[in-house]
Chain A
Amino acid sequence: MDMKHDLKGKTVVITGATSGIGLATAKELVGCGAFVIGVGRSQERCRRAEEEIEGTCPGSKTVYLTADLSSLRQVRELACNIKQVVEREGKGILDVLINNAGTVSSWYVITADGFELQFAVNHLAPFLLTHELMPLLRAAPAGRIITVSSGSHYRTKINWKDVCMRKHYNVLRAYKQSKLANVLFTTELNRRLGPTSTVRAYAVDPGLVNTDIGLKGTAGIARWIWAKRSKGGIDPAVPAKSIAYLAGEPSVHKSMQVYWKDCKPKKPSAYSQREDVALRLWQLSEKMCGIESSEYGL
């Protein structure tokens, strides 16, 4: 299996591509010859990421776009910008969408749309972005949607009474819920696409990785705990290889497995596989994003 060959010339979008797992994945895929469109929050961070990739892989072709994924309006604009880039440079085909951007917040922060930040960035942004990019993904011979979830999705449920945890916000429960939402989304997406679709979705468990995710929006105990835990974490280059495997390995397309870790399927939580829960979350997400999936063929 020559994985590098399978990614050569492919067009890949990676959100959260300016640091951590996203940047490591961008470097890995660029190294395999893919055309990477990275997404970051600020022009400065995007510029630095572009420079770093150029340094690792001189002469490589990458495009970085800025978007604040906490805003649905900006997610829509990002989708438009990605379409323009893909039409201009990627033959109108998007082979892989990697929903990697994630955030943690110690405090309950409300986005411009009135949603809790982690729920908005970690779940609603991938939900909406995937819908908007679906036509480009369907144009690919084997389109893939890879959403970076987490082992945190185990041992938790969706808080239906207060999905945004407004009244009794807890940073860890909110994060766990958002990672569970990633698995539920992936499961329901595959169900709607159907087994004969050219497009398939996967959720990735990156393991415990040494990144800054727990340092950017946290304080106090949460921040201290992450500072300690992350030191025992693996380098982001490790999950980057797992993501690259899912992005490029042809045999994966035949697999009905939803949840992957270290290039192997892993059993996700039973709750995350419940059809009724996945459907309910999907319908709630449609309402929150103001879309109807049927208009996107889903």
Chain B
Amino acid sequence: MKSSVCITGAAGGLGKAFAVECASRGWDLFLTDLSDTALASLASSLSNTYGINVAYRSCDLTDQASRTELFEYMKDSGLRFHILINIAGVDYEGLFGERTREEIRTILRLNIEANLEMTYAVMKLRDKGEIFRIINVASLAAFYPMPVKAIYAASKRFLLDFSLALREEIRPMGATVTALCPAGMPTTAACIHAINAQGFAGRITTKNVGFVAARTIDHALKGHAIYIPGAVNRLLRFFGGLLPATLVARMVGSRWIAVRYRNNPAAGTA
């Protein structure tokens, strides 16, 4: 049986982009996301357009029981995988003190726990006749402490470090791990609005999801450790890396926090 590409968060903006890119390369897919209807539309459309097999199963990746059920389903399906793309992730932007306990848990459960469990499960189902490749969607935020996105950035740093370490562990079996570290992408209407609001700075750091998905796969196939889309972003990362983390955190924070306090004088006191 031909092995498949497993994609989490497949119904989101970046998820769809990866699904389409992989389909265009003639690869069979296994997709998961929260919504069964969204997966069904995408699956039928991709298999009609590209002539590939697309299996899917909805899952609440923040819920352990739901994850267990997904893994059993994948095991029983007899599917084998040559690529895993961990995209599912979330952020509740804002000051830490203003978040709810549930929001804090959800970020950790989805961005970290679900990623690790998915990687663990799919590794056991890998196609031993192919080079196994993992793509973890981290973020440019992985490189810096980011006030107002504190938990999110830290969770992406976790993924980045974990990816680099796992990469060494599975190198002997010829497998690879690639961490994708993009800036903001025009996925949802809210993201597009945020990018447009940044004006020129937004436009030069933003790459379309189609471009990002295609280039990421190219880099993953070459076994590269990290991919930062966009030369401007790579430059920013380079110069940011020369500065102490505390200074970067202060620079990022000074603008964002000031805006928040201006708009909401009670911010941070919840």
Contacts and interface: CB of A to CB of B under 8 A. Distances in A.
Interface of A: 71-73, 107-110, 112-116, 164-169, 219-220, 287-290
A111 to B, nearest CB: 8
Nearest to B215: A167
B17 A166 contact: yes
Nearest to B191: A107
Contact of B208 (A73, A108, A289): A108
Contacts of A164: 20, 210
Contacts of A107: 186, 192, 195, 206, 208
Given A72-B41, A72-B45, A287-B48, 16 more contacts: A107-B206, A108-B210, A108-B211, A109-B186, A110-B13, A110-B209, A112-B11, A112-B41, A114-B19, A114-B23, A114-B46, A116-B210, A166-B17, A219-B195, A288-B49, A290-B44
Nearest to A219: B196
B42 to A, nearest CB: 5
B17 A73 contact: no
B16 interface: yes
B203 interface: yes
A224 B212 CA distance: 26
Among A114, A168, A287, A290, chain B packs the most CB atoms within 10 A around the CB of A114
Contact of A166 (B196, B203, B214): B214
Nearest to B12: A110
A166 B22 CA distance: 12
* Highest count of chain A CB atoms <10 Å: which of B42, B48, B210, B213: B210
Contacts of A220: 196, 199-200, 203
A109 B17 CA distance: 9
Nearest to B40: A73
B42 A108 contact: no
Given A108-B209, A109-B186, A220-B203, A166 B41 contact: no
Contacts of B11: 112
A288 B210 contact: no
A114 B16 contact: yes
Contact of A71 (B41, B210, B213): B41
A177 to B, nearest CB: 15
Main secondary structure of the interface of A (DSSP, over half): loop
Interface residues of B, number: 31
B38 interface: yes
A289 B41 CA distance: 11
Contacts of A219: 192, 195-196, 203
Contacts of A287: 48-49
A140 B211 CA distance: 46
Nearest to B17: A110
Nearest to A170: B208
B42 A114 contact: yes
B212 to A, nearest CB: 10
B49 A165 contact: no
B208 A114 contact: no
A251 B24 CA distance: 46
B186 A112 contact: no
B21 interface: yes
B208 A169 contact: yes
Interface in B30-51: 38, 41-42, 44-46, 48-49
Contacts of A72: 41, 45
Contacts of A109: 13, 186, 192
Nearest to A107: B186
Given A167-B210, A169-B211, A220-B196, A110 B45 contact: no
5 contacts: A107-B192, A112-B11, A164-B20, A169-B211, A290-B45
A112 B209 CA distance: 14
Interface string B191-234: 01001100110010010111101100000000000000000000
A112 B38 contact: yes
B125 to A, nearest CB: 25
B203 A110 contact: no
B186 A114 contact: no
A267 B20 CA distance: 37
B209 A288 contact: no
A231 to B, nearest CB: 21
Interface string B240-260: 000000000000000000000
A114 B210 CA distance: 11
